[in-house]
Each structure stands twice: as C-alpha cells, then as structure tokens.
Amino acid sequence: MKKVLVTGGAGFIGTNLIKKLLADGNEVYSVDNFTIGTPEHAALFKDNNNYHFIELNIDNTEEFLMKFKDVNFDMVYHLAANSDIQKGGQDPRVDYRDTFSTTRSVLELMRQNDIKKLFFASTSAVYGDMSGELITENIGNLKPISYYGGAKFASEGYISAYTFMNDLSVVVFRFPNVIGPCLTHGVIHDFVKKLKSDPNKLEILGDGHQTKPYIYVDDLVDVIVKMTENIPKGMGIYNIGVDSATSVTKIADIVCDVLGYKGVTYKYTGGNVGWKGDVPKFQYNLDKIHKTGWRAKYSSDEAVRKTCEWVKEQVL
C-alpha cells in the first residue's frame, strides 16, 4: 500500500484516478479548492477509510506546507490546474495562479518533506500550434500560444530544475483531450447545453474542421498507474494519446445521434479556431509510450461516443 497525494482530486481526471488508486489498495489524500472540481466528486469515496479529502487552495504555498507538515507521501500526483483554457484566456492571472503556482507549491512540499516521486499532468498545449506536424517529445523551440500552455511549460521547466536539484523521479504526461465520466466542461457539454435550449439549431465555434485526438479517461488512468509503479530517477516526458482524431463537426454528429436530436442545423461561427489560443489540429507521435507495451483501447470517436452515453445518463 502506498500513501499518495492527489492535487486537483475533485476534478474530472482526479476523481477517476482516485477511484483506481483506492481500488488498488492505496491510501489517498486528495486536495482541491472546488474552482472547477465539485464537492459531489470529493464525496464519492467518503466511505472508504483509505480516503482523506481536504478542501484547500494549494496556490497558497505556506498554508499547503503547514497542512502537510508532518505527513510523508510515497508519491504525489499533481493534477490541480485551471483546465478551462478559454477562461484562462480572459485573465492571465488565472493560469499563473492555478496552473503554475500550484506546481511551485507541490515542488516545495516535495523538497521540504523529502518526497521523491511525482506524476505531472501536462498537456499538448505546451507545443503551441505545430500546424498538424507529427509531434515527438524531443521537438525543440516550443512556443505555447495560450496562457495555460505557457503555465504548463513553465511548470515543466521548474519540475526539471527541482528534479535535478533534489534527485526526484518524475513522470510527465502531455495529455491530449481527455473525456469520460465526471467530465465537467468542454465541447460535449457545450453542445448538450445548446441543444437543450434549442433542439433545432447548434452553434459550432470555428469552421468545424478543428480535429484533435480524444482519449477515454479509463485508458489514461490505466497508463498513469502503469507508468508510476516504478519510476526511474530523472524526468521522463511522454506524449499520451490515441492514433485517431475527431473533428468538431463529427463530435456534433455523435452528440446528436446519441442524445436523439434529429435534423439539427449547424451554424458555424467561422474561422479555423474555436477561440484565440485554441490549437485547431494536432497529431502526436506515440512511439515512446507504445514501446512500453501500452496502447489505448478506445479510438477517439469511441471515446466521444462513450462520453456522450455517460452524459445522456446524467441528463435523463
């Protein structure tokens, strides 16, 4: 049994990860300040004696360090961040605080408490707009185009320095879009909300051709757990994803199909991006993670369909 800390544990991916970590018999401490995560998610595991939830703003480093002054962890899964890229685009302080400063707090906790193992949830947004080029992890000259991508990239830089200075063992995954049960926002929720208010018409941001890989959260949790069982010294960075991708128009088709909306007229707002800072197309080279023997079970379209089925259960 390992004693682990999950930051952002009441969020979408955190909730799915904690479910698996508890099922595997670990003792899990979870922190979240409910900026995006929900008390309902935090309460899901309250009957499990190995689960401890603490409502905390971890951007406040001093408070975070005080809270866990005498607690030692075998491993930290750092997922807390502002996951709403659009919202972050309206105010750069949001990603500085929730995406970057939270990472600094985690690294300080690890340094001061002599915690040696870290998993960090990074993102394809660190690469910026690569115009559809096949992206490998060792590509250089990265130019993130959103404050969110910038704050994750800065976090990776800080993690690299702390790794060297403190002999850490770190796994960094650059996730693509992740979807599945407990999802709280994003394109699928937007479409469902719009269709509920007008079942005949659907506004789609951009030209609908934005095409990205979507991974199902069970696949992601599976590879997080696998790759954090025995982490070698140093910092390993991996692209994570699926070989396929789904366009925004295809997502609209699947949402309408699964939720039973017929004859819907799509109205495109135009332009090739959904919003400023959005990367309309990207494609990963996944050789590095595939060489470990892991492969996602679900394709991008299947992930979208399964998530729509979950959303349907929630709205009915």
Ligand X SMILES: NC(=O)c1ccc[n+]([C@@H]2O[C@H](COP(=O)([O-])OP(=O)(O)OC[C@H]3O[C@@H](n4cnc5c(N)ncnc54)[C@H](O)[C@@H]3O)[C@@H](O)[C@H]2O)c1
Q: Which residues pair with 281 in a beta bridge?
A: 211
Residue 165 amino acid letter: M
- For residue 128, state whether it binds ligand X (rule: CB under 6 A): no
Interface characters, 52-71, with ligand X (x: CB under 6 A): -----xxx------------
- For residue 79, state whether it binds ligand X (rule: CB under 6 A): yes
**What tokens were used for 57?**
């703003």
Among 26, 30, 103, 123, binds ligand X (CB under 6 A): 123
Residues 240-279 close enough to bind ligand X by CB under 6 A: none
Minimum distance of ligand X from residue 72's CB (angstroms): 20
- For residue 51, state whether it binds ligand X (rule: CB under 6 A): no
Minimum distance of ligand X from residue 136's CB (angstroms): 18
Minimum distance of ligand X from residue 152's CB (angstroms): 7
- For residue 300, state whether it binds ligand X (rule: CB under 6 A): no
* Separation in Å, CA 61 to CA 158, 195, 212, 292: 15, 42, 35, 36
- For residue 76, state whether it binds ligand X (rule: CB under 6 A): no
- For residue 77, state whether it binds ligand X (rule: CB under 6 A): no
Residue 277 amino acid letter: G
Residue 95 or 264 having the CB closest to ligand X:
95
**Helices marked H in the chain:** 12-23, 39-43, 61-67, 85-90, 92-95, 102-113, 147-166, 187-197, 217-227, 248-259, 287-290, 300-315
- Mention every residue, 6+ apart, whose C-beta is less than 8 A from residue 62: none
Q: What is the number of helices (H) and of strands (E) in the chain? A: 12, 15
- For residue 304, state whether it binds ligand X (rule: CB under 6 A): no
- For residue 36, state whether it binds ligand X (rule: CB under 6 A): yes
Total number of residues shown for the chain: 316
Interface characters, 143-182, with ligand X (x: CB under 6 A): --------------------------------x-xx----
Q: What is the DSSP letter of 118?
A: E
Q: Report the interhelical angle of 187-197 vs 248-259 (nearest 10°).
A: 50
- Part of the chain binding ligand X (CB under 6 A), chosen from 8-16, 164-172, 273-281, 282-290: 8-16
Q: Where do contacts with ligand X occur on this chain (CB under 6 A)?
A: 8, 10-14, 31-37, 57-59, 79-83, 98, 102, 121, 123, 175, 177-178, 184
